[in-house]
Structure 1
Amino acid sequence: MTETLGGPHDILDEAQVREFVARSLAGADLDGRSVCVIVPDATRTCPMPLLLGEVHRALAGRATRVTVLVALGTHAAMGPAQLLAYLGGPYAGWTVLNHEWWKPETFVSLGEIDADRVAELSEGRLKQPVRVALNRAVVEHDVCLVIGPVFPHEVVGFSGGNKYFFPGVAGQEIIDFSHWLGALITSADIIGTRGITPVRALIDQAASLIPSRRLALCLVVQSGTGGLYALSFGSPEAAWASCADVSAQTHVRYLDAPVRRVVSVVPVKYDDMWTGAKGFYKVEPVVADGGQVIVYAPHITRIAAMHPEIEQIGYHCRDYFLKQWDRFAHHHWGVLAHSTHLRGAGTYDPVLGERGRVTVTLATGIPEEVVRAANLDYLDPASVDLDALAAEPDTLVVAQAGEVLYRLR
């Protein structure tokens, strides 16, 4: 059974949150069980100390063993000081681990999804088997408890739920596969799409192979503040669906007409363009054809901490890769997907070349030669006057960009 507290209009107070978490876990069959708690990293706004503090109290004397596993996907690991600040604690008796996606020995195989099922789930976009590997900590516990927010997402529609398993603590193959499926659909078409998208269907299928019992505490968080609109507890599928409905009402802003320019002010929690690119994904739908997105992030000094491959490939539209697939198929498909997500919609012709629907300009600390070599435009961040840009009638300046989606009515 799934229970939900809150809705799209008011922020819950701490007492309400604590009582809901305590009541939800008290009613769960956790006595004498080992529990793997799966949480996002610090690139997601989330009041994690509040939530984990209450979970710690609720599991004390009941769970035989608790491991907190940080769902990095393929992000950089969090250091001890970062973990302490983000998670709170320390939590007596608990083990805290990063998902070490770069270490093959940390994975266990769950089998594969066969080609015919992939074709069905992907609505015919892909037809080949995909192996499903997962962090072994998940299957080595009796129960896995996902705790994390739901936001509009460029690969799956809305994040959260089983996405904390895949790609959160998954192996490279299914990460690449699911992200490329999203890229084939395109970020602009799938982001903020409600219901079971093809990528969500693939992720749910993979999650069904997990032998441990799966539970989720899904959240709808006020972007940038950590306040909570809603919480839902139950199966990852049902709790996610409940929160996605609320997120669709709280994390989407609608414009009546497209704008010529958007300036996305990227917060410091995104420390490279791999993560900071969310400042583009969330605003692309409202930019007029031929318009511009300026990603303003003076604190970002590198394209990708963990994925230098993107600097050689650069940023290109989907069809640039599809029409030259022999050149690019051997690269990590997740990298190719990231490339298309930040470049946005466009066309490619062998004679006429590549044409993007909009111009993507980085006003960051990344050197100009690196930016231009990656096929993006450069702007010196010192030259950016946010107040002057905000005063222009055809420019939208988005503060704390990356979590709230902008769409046209």
Structure 2
Amino acid sequence: MGRVQKLPYGKRFIELDLNKLGSVQLVEPNPVLNERDEEVIVREALEHPMGSISLKELTKGVKKILIITNDNTRPMPSKITIPAIIRSFYWDERYYDITILIANGLHREMREEEMREQFGEEICSKYRIVNHNASDRTQLFDFGRLSSGNVLWLNKLLVEHDLIISEGFIEPHFFAGYSGGRKSILPGVAGEETILHNHRPENIASPYATGANLDGNPIHKECQEAAKMGKLAFILNVALDRSKKIVGAFAGDPVKAHTCGCEYVKRMMSVAAKRTDIVITTNNGYPLDRNLYQVVKGIDTASKIVKEGGVIIVAAECMEKVGHKNFEDLILSCRSVEELHCKMSSPPSTADKWQVQILARALKKYKIILVSDGIDQALSEKLFLIHAVSIEEAVKKAFSIKGTGASVTVMPEGPVTIPVVNDEIRCLG
């Protein structure tokens, strides 16, 4: 393999000299050899939906249509997918009353300039775009109770429109199994009370609530039920390659299309790996590494293949620093990793507690070194992280902790990788 590895970092790459790591295991998905045009991939999926009639048929007798989309913490190629969805309607777009609802969940609302970057000028000028606000009860409607007892509060636009469509992209998700599909509804456009119940500590602690797993996953089960009760009728989900280009598209019934997409992503992103003393990873660059809150996903993926007592190095720009005030405050409220783990693993459920719970779980077992321009050493130490100003400094610190003969994994694409543990695999030299 090459001796210099590029690591995604913000909107650029940083280089890691593999010659200084000794014997190293490189864990990254195989490149997807797909030369088909992105728009063709999407159009073909929409023309041949799974388990559903086409959007052309679905839109025959309706007037008001709601399209639910991701916020800008996801690299969703909406400039391609939203126009393709609308071109699939029975009538010309001028016939319909179309609203685009941003599935912010408990994330902050998107600003106008961010909408223009995510959706493009044409979409922003043509259609009404609404930010979902989970804490604003005036936006919400009570859809009843889920089988778990959770009260299903969803954005009232779902009851004010004739047809509900969602778009999204599928990648491994560290506690919901995979992103996409039903997550557009819960947590995407759900109320705060509903999200907190779904993300409660006992659900996060379930051994089934983990990346690339849907079977027995209590969070996934509740989200899927919420999507059905919310009358989500049709989805378009895409799979992206390492350049964030569309390589697969899955349209149709929310369950069947999403399941097929998850199976595709699992095949595409699964890589055999053995546990090592040190794992060097990223959060796959912008927009996924825009803040530390999101970077927990990359840390959790690395935890799957680092030996207990080992070191995780994560390179993430964190242009928005920590990102979520609740997340930061919860960490800063504790004086030790032990206290953090104990408090975060216990009721009640509060905003962003789940993210801290997963971080605390990793901190309890491993040393975590953060390479970041956005978060300095003083703040890193308060967050129980070891700071490094460069990847070279981080590597030196890791070897000083584990010794010069420590085994090393490099996982360049972090949370979009599915490492499958096989301790019989030999490290590649």
Using the alignment, how far apart are the partners of 1:81 and 1:160 within structure 2?
Answer: 24
Q: Report the counterpart of residue 320 of structure 1 in structure 2.
A: 342
Q: Which amino acid aligns with 1:344?
A: R
Counterpart of 2:85, as a letter, is V
CA distance in 2, matches of 1:136, 1:359: 45
Identify the match of residue 111 of structure 1 among 135, 144, 166.
Answer: 144
The one-letter code matched in structure 2 to 1:88 is G
* Equivalent AA in structure 2 for residue 177 of structure 1: H
Residue 131 of structure 1 aligns with which residue?
151
Residue 206 of structure 2 aligns with an amino acid whose one-letter code is I
Structure 2 residue corresponding to 1:310, chosen from 311, 314, 330: 330
Equivalence map 1:165-314=2 (5 Å): 165-180=185-200, 181-185=202-206, 190-195=210-215, 197-210=217-230, 212-223=231-242, 225-255=243-273, 257-266=274-283, 267-269=285-287, 270-300=289-319, 302-307=321-326, 308-313=328-333
Give TM-score scaled by structure 2 length.
0.77
Q: Is the 8 A contact 2:232 2:254 kept in 1?
A: no
Distance 1:194 1:392, change over 3 A: farther
Secondary structure of the residue that 2:352 maps to in structure 1?
Answer: helix
Identity %: 17
Alpha carbons of structure 1 residues 397 and 261: separation in structure 2 relative to 1, 3 Å: same
Higher relative contact order (CA 8 A, sep 6+): 2
Matched with 1:339 is 356
- Aligned to 2:378, which of 369, 377, 382? 369
Which residues of structure 1 form unaligned runs of 5+? 1-7, 119-128, 347-355
The letter of the residue matching 1:310 is L
In the alignment, the residues of structure 1 paired with residue 355 and residue 296 of structure 2 have an alpha-carbon distance, to the nearest angstrom, of: 9
**Secondary structure, aligned partner of 2:133:** coil
Q: Secondary structure at 1:283's aligned position in 2? A: helix
Q: Structure 1 residue 155 and structure 2 residue 175: aligned?
A: yes
Count matched residues.
370
1:121 — aligned with what?
Answer: none
Q: Residues of 2 paired with 1:394 and 1:78: CA distance?
A: 42
Deviations 1:142-165 (A, max 9, x none): 111111111111121112111110
Other-structure match for 1:381: 389
Structure 2 distance, partners of 1:203, 1:156, is: 9
Q: What is the match of residue 126 of structure 1?
A: none
Aligned-partner SS, 2:100: strand
- Following superposition, the deviation at residue 14 of structure 1 comes to 2.8
Give me the whole-angstrom Cα distance separating, in 2, the residues matched to 1:298 and 1:171: 30
The TM-score, its normalising length taken from structure 1, stands at 0.80
Query: 1:401: Cα distance to partner?
Result: 2.9
Aligned mates of 1:222, 1:392 — CA distance in 2: 34
Alpha carbons of structure 1 residues 318 and 34: separation in structure 2 relative to 1, 3 Å: farther
SS for the counterpart of 2:58 is coil
Alpha-carbon distance in 2 for matches of 1:141, 1:392: 62
- Report how far residue 228 of structure 1 moved: 2.3
Distance 1:295 1:36 in 2: 38
Q: Counterparts of 1:39 and 1:184 in 2: how far apart (Å)? A: 28
Gap runs ≥5 in structure 2 = 1-31, 423-429
| Mapped contact 1:12–1:227 kept (Cα < 8 A) | no
User: How many Å separate the matches in 2 of 1:239 and 1:317?
Assistant: 42
**How far did residue 9 of structure 1 move?**
6.1
Aligned partners of 2:246, 2:302: CA distance in 1, in Å? 23
Residue equivalent to 1:78: 110
For the structure 1 residues 337 and 64, does the alpha-carbon distance in structure 2 shift closer, same or farther, using more than 3 Å as the test? same
1:151–1:301: structure 2 CA closer, same or farther, 3 Å change rule?
Answer: closer
Give 3-state SS (helix, strand or coil) of 1:202's partner: helix
Q: Provide the rounded CA distance (Å) in 2 between the counterparts of 1:237 and 1:317.
A: 40
Whole-angstrom CA distance in 1 between matches of 2:390 and 2:244: 30
Equivalence for 2:368: 360
User: For residue 122 of structure 1, what is the aligned residue in structure 2?
Assistant: none
Over the aligned positions, Cα root-mean-square deviation in angstroms equals 3.0
Shift of the 288–317 alpha-carbon distance from structure 1 to 2, 3 Å rule, reads farther
Moved more, 89-98 or 228-237: 89-98
CA deviation after TM superposition for structure 1 residue 280, in Å: 0.6
> 1:41 and 2:103 equivalent?
no
1:53 to 2:83 alignment: yes
Give the AA of the match of 2:74: R
Distance in 1 (CA, whole Å) between partners of 2:362 and 2:129 is: 40
